[in-house]
Amino acid sequence: MIAVKVIDLQSEAKSKSFDVECNAMRNLRHRNLVKIISSCSNLDFKSLVMEFMSNGSVDKWLYSNNYCLSFLQRLNIMIDVASALEYLHLGSSMPVVHCDLKPSNVLLDENMVAHVSDFGIAKLMDEGQSKTHTQTLATVGYLAPEYGSKGIVSVKGDVYSYGIMLMEIFTRIMPTDDMFVAELSLKTWISGSLPNSIMEVMDSNLVQITWDQIDYILTHMSSIFSLALICCEDSPEARINMADVIATLIKIKTLVVGANTI
């Protein structure tokens, strides 16, 4: 089984994104990135041949009424995504900024292992370069402040998007939800819930399936939301790096698995 992504050649932006994605993925190999098997490109047709992800996107699992991800599944997904970003930022020969991290761009294989996909607006950082500029806007709600206002792209922008996704996956609330008006955002909503109102912002489905251990879960949720907020600091320099994100999440997972309650 394979997946084929066919590019709309009527759209100049999408046609350009094909070249960007090919360039970005050419030398990348990681278990948490969607593997591109081959590509096809001529004047009339462009496509990418990729490994098939049988469980679809995280977005589908998060917002469908037919599925409910467990606490541990959500934690594993976010560890997988963090591992992919750490590799892109620190492990490849040239740092790569994904620029559009969100649940619909993370796919799940048959074992529920997460794979980051869609590198159509990714940026390759030249040697010694820590940031660059772009006029290509990514998805509203996940953009770091410096990206949205000035078009500044750096690995710290991915960290911000990761923090938003981390909040979203445990609340089941999109950053663009209608409830967020004026000064209220997903970030300020989560910040206001710490440390005593966490159950009010957690995904209600998650509350139901973990009710027997809810006090125990709330302790870990506090750590997870605190980590997400550090990822989403307004200043890029104040944001944590992905290696430290992984270390924190694995520590939480070790406690959860060790307790053998979830």
How many CB atoms are located within 10 Å of the residue 186 CB?
A: 24
Sequence-separated (6 or more) residues with CB below 8 Å from residue 106:
57, 58, 59, 77, 81, 114, 115, 116, 117, 165
How many CB atoms are located within 10 Å of the residue 167 CB?
A: 25
Cα–Cα distance measured from residue 78 to residue 220, given in angstroms and rounded to the nearest whole number: 14
The token duo for 85 is 């970003």
Determine which one of 8, 59, 80, 100 is catalytic.
100
Cα–Cα distance measured from residue 162 to residue 140, given in angstroms and rounded to the nearest whole number: 14
The token duo for 204 is 């209600």
Cα–Cα distance measured from residue 12 to residue 10, given in angstroms and rounded to the nearest whole number: 6
Indicate the burial class of 26 (C-beta count within 10 angstroms; 0-12, 13-18, 19 or more): exposed
212 as an active site residue: the answer is no
Cα–Cα distance measured from residue 116 to residue 106, given in angstroms and rounded to the nearest whole number: 5
Q: Give the Å distances, CA to CA, from 103 to 48, 112, 210, 254.
A: 21, 14, 23, 24
Residues belonging to the active site: 100
